[in-house]
Amino acid sequence: MPDLKKYYDRYILAAAGLVLAGVAVLLAFSSDSAKEAAVMPQASGRQEPFAANEDVELLKLDRAEMDKRRAWSEATNGASTFVSRVYLLKDDRLIDIEESGNDLFPGIPNRWIRDNNLDYSDASLPERDPDEDNFTNFEEFTAKTNPRDAASKPPLWTKLRLTDVKIEKLRFTFKSLPTGSTDKVAINTIAADNPSMLSGATQFYPRSSKKVRTPDGDKDVDERVLLLAERTPDGRQVFQPTPFRFDRVEMTKRFNPSTNVEEELPAAIILNTADEKLVRLELSEVKDSPYPLATFLDTRSGESRVLNLGEVLSLGPDETYKLVDVTLEGAKIQDLATKEQHTVPKAAPVAAQPVTPEAEQPQ
């Protein structure tokens, strides 16, 4: 008994070893039995294929159809498949700037803003000038130019604004038919500052002599060209050629207030060679000029220019224009290179600034 207690642990280990050995023998026996019970498949002498599986065939067809489809590519489609929509909070509403149909800035489509990578969240976007070429985003869109390329910009004439139109008296008055015939007229130049006063001697058109004294010296001019006769401070008389040319005389029946009867009276017809328009001068009439003076503002530089009809305005080495018409609402200029005509709009009126009363001075 004392030996059993002394070698108790060893007996336990020996017993466990016997149990494990018995389990191993049992497992080996079971494996041999399983091998004997298994039936090996017999190869067919005819080598017949396996029966087709309908599910597998359907999967193959689906895969073939998928391979035919064009794979999405950023290189070919220009965008990622994971681009989120762009929304902007405006007037407490989320606006899809692509599909909403609402332009964030009236007159400029949202697509144009996105295509040119402009900041659509900038409230001053139409007035911005990203390429610093002195043209705003709105002007670039209107001219279909690139707002991010200074070399791509609208024509310079688009920066002109008509700021003033001055109606003047025509500087000529038809005085008489000196020979009683309609082939020659007597026309006077009226003073610029006082239409009731004549300036210089009476001129006869057509004239027998073509040589006249101008501010630049004696010159030969077309005998039908009307001349502004002026006197210099030293009393000399000089003549300034104009775009007007004597054309003909027309006799018309008109009421004569001095005689209270209808009479046949002459009218001198003169041609403005700047625009090929005819101007009618009734006998002894001082009429308003049909060609007002136009004042243009170049909004690029802030410079103003005053032009008469027919005068030329140069805006750059490649842009030269002639003034061909003026109204109170706008002026027409003609590109001398392309002969195209453009309308220069009238400048927007400047809003009156509120007058702030001066602070009272302490007594």
In this structure, are residues 219 and 190 in contact, taking their beta carbons and an 8 Å threshold? no
- Which residues touch 265 (CB under 8 Å, ≥6 apart)? 251, 252, 253, 254, 256, 282, 283
d(Cα 169, Cα 287) in Å, to the nearest integer?
6
Please give the single-letter amino acid code of residue 325.
Answer: D
What is the model's pLDDT at position 163? 94
Q: What average pLDDT does range 238-266 have in this prediction?
A: 87
Nearest by Cα to 156 from 295, 332, 33, 335: 335
Nearest by Cα to 340 from 94, 128, 136, 158: 158
The average confidence (pLDDT) of the chain is: 80
Q: Which two tokens stand for residue 39?
A: 């039936």
- CA end-to-end distance (rounded Å), the chain: 132
C-alpha distances out from residue 312 to 42, 108, 302, 321, 324, Å: 108, 34, 19, 6, 10
Please give the single-letter amino acid code of residue 57.
Answer: E
Q: What average pLDDT does range 177-204 have in this prediction?
A: 87
In this structure, are residues 340 and 326 in contact, taking their beta carbons and an 8 Å threshold? no
Q: What average pLDDT does range 113-120 have in this prediction?
A: 89
Please give the single-letter amino acid code of residue 175.
Answer: K
In this structure, are residues 148 and 119 in contact, taking their beta carbons and an 8 Å threshold? no
d(Cα 139, Cα 116) in Å, to the nearest integer?
14
Please give the single-letter amino acid code of residue 160.
Answer: L
* Cα–Cα–Cα angle for 329, 300, 163, rounded to 5 degrees: 25
d(Cα 356, Cα 98) in Å, to the nearest integer?
46
Pairing mode of beta strands 277-282, 341-345: unpaired
d(Cα 257, Cα 262) in Å, to the nearest integer?
9
Q: Which of 150-164, 182-196, 207-221, 272-286 has the lowest mean pLDDT?
A: 207-221
d(Cα 277, Cα 287) in Å, to the nearest integer?
16
What is the model's pLDDT at position 88? 66
d(Cα 190, Cα 172) in Å, to the nearest integer?
6
Q: Which two tokens stand for residue 362?
A: 């302490």
Q: Is the pLDDT of residue 321 over 90?
A: yes
CATH code of domain 155-168+289-350: 2.30.30
What pTM does this model have? 0.51
All CATH 2.30.30 domain ranges in the chain, comma separated = 155-168+289-350
Pairing mode of beta strands 160-166, 293-298: antiparallel
* Cα–Cα–Cα angle for 64, 69, 73, rounded to 5 degrees: 135
What is the model's pLDDT at position 159? 93
Q: Is the pLDDT of residue 145 over 90?
A: yes
Q: Is the pLDDT of residue 40 over 70?
A: no
Q: What average pLDDT does range 192-218 have in this prediction?
A: 79
Q: Is the pLDDT of residue 36 over 70?
A: no
Highest mean pLDDT pick, 17-26, 54-63, 231-240, 243-252: 243-252
Give me the count of residues in the chain.
Answer: 363
d(Cα 125, Cα 135) in Å, to the nearest integer?
12
Give CA torsion, residues 26, 27, 29, 35, to 10 deg. 160
Residue 290 main-chain phi, psi, to 5 deg: -75, 0
